[in-house]
Structure 1
Amino acid sequence: MLRRLVRYLLGTLRVDVTGGDSERFLNRCLEEGILLWDLRRTPERLDATMMLADFFRLRPIARAARCRVRIREREGLPFLIRRLRRRPFLLAGAAGSLAVLIWAGSHIWVVDARINGPGYLDPRAVLAAAAEAGLRKGAWKARVDVNHVTQHLKSRVEELSWAVVRVDGTRAVIEVVEKGAVKPPDQALCVHLVARKAGVVEQVIPFQGEPLVKKGDLVQPGDMLVECALRYWAGGRPLVLPGMPLPPRADLARTVVAQATVRARVAYRQYYEYPAVEQVKEPTGRRHVQWVLNWNGRSII
């Protein structure tokens, strides 16, 4: 592969050698270090392929062997460049088209806002806040900081509880979760969020309630994921050393309906039974011929 690439970059020629002593011509090429390949000999001529740089060294060899060398085919980058020089507008158009494609691919042309929640938030508000942070149609992708846009959305739009920005090619997608607009239920009503299947927790996004699991925890069906109570620390937030976890909040503030998005990796198992002995039909190759007499739509053996 590398050899073919080098030959294409340097250029190759397909030549016809006629007349004279072709054996002497080949021997002299070998002595001079001229590489010939893909040789084909006929009673009238000798066909060979050679490098472009070696062609200019053939004149004394052909004269000594009394042969005539004629170029039949040209292939390689030097000949392509020579043809393109004759068509400057074609070359300029190709270079301009490539530049336009590179320029268009380095910008964002589509910005979508996907809102999950009650539906009271206008998508235009999310797009306007993203535009303030630099994410808009026609923005250069290298100048768009996804983390900065996410933080700006959370601080600018108070109705958001979670936001993420993804850039895929020339398309940007803003996914946000709107805060629950449902009125708090009766204080006596308490609804927990429990697991339906066994799995390993991958992501926890709480909306209401106290989360009891975190990423990497193993849960079983029926395990409580989010508690329906909002808890706090009596006497305010305690002081702890950096790197140490906070103590659990034990005092009950009020009860709510637990709401959260919990994603987990779930495994499924399937069970099949196969017989110990299975009958398989295989053709034996034997033939059976039977003559049948058909008359009036009936078969008579």
Structure 2
Amino acid sequence: MFSEWLDRLRGTVVVEIRGFRPDAMLDAMRSANIVVRQAKFRRIERRGGAVEDVLEVRLSTRDALRLRPLLKRTGCRMRVRAKYGWPFWLARLSRNASFAVGACMFTAVFFLLSQIVWDVDVEIEGSRLTTEQVLKAAETYGLRPYRWKFSLPPVETMAAELYRYIPDASWIGVEWRGTRATIRVVEMKRPEPRPVKGPRHLVASRDAEVTAIFAETGRPVVRPHALVRKGDVLISGWIGTDERKIAVAAEGTVRGLVWDIVEVEVPLARTVRTYTGGTSVRYAVAWGDRRFRLPGVGTAKSGEEKVEERLFTLRWGDWVSPLGVVRQEVRRTRTATIVWTQEQAMEAARAEIRKAVEFRYGEEIGPVRENILQVRADNDKVYLKAHVEVEIDIAQEQPIAPAENGASS
């Protein structure tokens, strides 16, 4: 590898040697310690049917100048076929000086323009900070468009200094993307202040059997396995003795078993859309929201299909060209009908019961125990009626009336 670069630096030539005995010329070069890079013999047919042996060798420019005495000694003649290396390239370039000067000026201007900050992008994770605030802080520090990149400190130093101007940020990162600077900011998450609540009780939201009770503030009134009705006090907001009572905002968790009737219906036949595995790609010209199919580009088959698009447009800063090219990936689909047995429909109906209970009481529910009351199949559907028992949070707030508060005081 080093010898190849050295040959390019010094220059090499390909010489064609002709004569009565070209092999004698090769022996003479070996005797004169001339290094031959490549050598090959070939025969050429001249006019009249005569055949001539030709020796083609590749050697350095310095060794090529030493061939003249050997040519006279062997009676051969030579012709330069090709020249390689920096000396010959510079010689050709010197004959076209204007092109060389233009290429150097273009390289210099391109290098200078690549060292300028042309745009500053901001990516914020949060809702309190705005892009204008981050750009103003970056400009105060010195990071703004049309500044020399080499006049700015490293990105780690800039990110550390921006903390002084953006106190609400928990993490700041600065990244170079060519001539564009990207500032990423993650906002500091602050706990929301808890609202001040007045004196209140926690009462039962429905008839239930208490399974667990935990009072953070206030006095628990019921115990587990107690039956309560809607409106009964579960955790009282009155604390203290009978002589001196204080009204507080009762807080805690009360879980209880409730009972309900749920009716669901499940069809025995369902129509689903499946992929066939066939795909194709086609292209279109985009102008705004419109698409113009290119004739003869891609495939367009009839039938059901799902199209996924990817848009390619030109961008320059915040400007986006309305003209672009759309790559559409078409996936073939078909409609299939699935027929369930009555046992499969029953399993699906039990899953629907769980969904109906979650929709009615929320997702934070305990295990659902159902007792099937009625099963009926009619009009290609299975109707199911069940009595369910589920554990939910049964506590709800009830403010302490001012009259009750004054009477107790």
Length-normalised TM-score, structure 1: 0.56
CA distance in 2, matches of 1:69, 1:148: 66
Any residues of structure 2 matched to 1:68-217 within 5 Å, and which? 68-118=77-127, 120-145=128-153, 146-179=155-188, 183-186=192-195
Shift of 1:170: 2.2
- Contact 1:106 / 1:170 at 8 angstroms: preserved in 2? yes
User: How much identity, in percent, do the aligned residues show?
Assistant: 30
Shift of 1:32: 1.2
Shift of 1:187: 6.1
Could you tell me which residue of structure 1 aligns to residue 9 of structure 2?
A: 9
Deviation larger for 71-80 or 156-165: 156-165
Shift of 1:53: 0.9
Could you tell me which residue of structure 2 aligns to residue 34 of structure 1?
A: 34
CA distance in 2, matches of 1:68, 1:162: 77
Please, which of 44, 54, 76 is the counterpart of residue 45 of structure 1? 54
Any residues of structure 2 matched to 1:278-293 within 5 Å, and which? none
Q: Deviations over 1:134-177 (max 9, x none)?
A: 21113222332234433443322444444222223322111223
Could you tell me which residue of structure 1 aligns to residue 322 of structure 2?
A: none
CA distance in 2, matches of 1:116, 1:187: 30
Confirm or deny that 1:57 pairs with 2:54. Answer: no
Shift of 1:49: 1.2
Please tell me whether Structure 1 or Structure 2 has the larger radius of gyration of its CA atoms.
2
CA distance in 1, matches of 2:79, 2:196: 100
- Contact 1:13 / 1:72 at 8 angstroms: preserved in 2? yes
Could you tell me which residue of structure 2 aligns to residue 251 of structure 1?
A: none
Q: Structure 1 residues 21 and 161, CA, compared in 2 at 3 Å: closer, same or farther?
A: closer
Shift of 1:46: 1.6
Q: Structure 1 residues 30 and 180, CA, compared in 2 at 3 Å: closer, same or farther?
A: closer
CA distance in 1, matches of 2:83, 2:188: 70
CA distance in 2, matches of 1:164, 1:172: 10
Could you tell me which residue of structure 2 aligns to residue 23 of structure 1?
A: 23
- Contact 2:22 / 2:53 at 8 angstroms: preserved in 1? no
Letter in 2 for 1:28: A
- Aligned partner of residue 55 in structure 2, secondary structure: strand
Q: Which runs of 5+ in 2 are unaligned?
A: 44-51, 198-409
Deviation larger for 144-153 or 167-176: 144-153
Letter in 1 for 2:10: L
Letter in 1 for 2:33: G
CA distance in 2, matches of 1:5, 1:12: 11
CA distance in 2, matches of 1:39, 1:163: 64
Shift of 1:100: 2.5
Q: Structure 1 residues 181 and 31, CA, compared in 2 at 3 Å: closer, same or farther?
A: same
- Contact 2:159 / 2:173 at 8 angstroms: preserved in 1? yes
Q: Deviations over 1:234-283 (max 9, x none)?
A: xxxxxxxxxxxxxxxxxxxxxxxxxxxxxxxxxxxxxxxxxxxxxxxxxx
Q: Structure 1 residues 180 and 187, CA, compared in 2 at 3 Å: closer, same or farther?
A: farther
Q: Deviations over 1:71-127 (max 9, x none)?
A: 111111111111000111111122122222322333322211112222x43312211
- Aligned partner of residue 143 in structure 2, secondary structure: coil
CA distance in 2, matches of 1:3, 1:60: 27
CA distance in 1, matches of 2:196, 2:176: 43
CA distance in 1, matches of 2:73, 2:146: 69
- Aligned partner of residue 83 in structure 1, secondary structure: helix
Letter in 2 for 1:31: S
Letter in 1 for 2:9: L
Q: Structure 1 residues 164 and 40, CA, compared in 2 at 3 Å: closer, same or farther?
A: closer
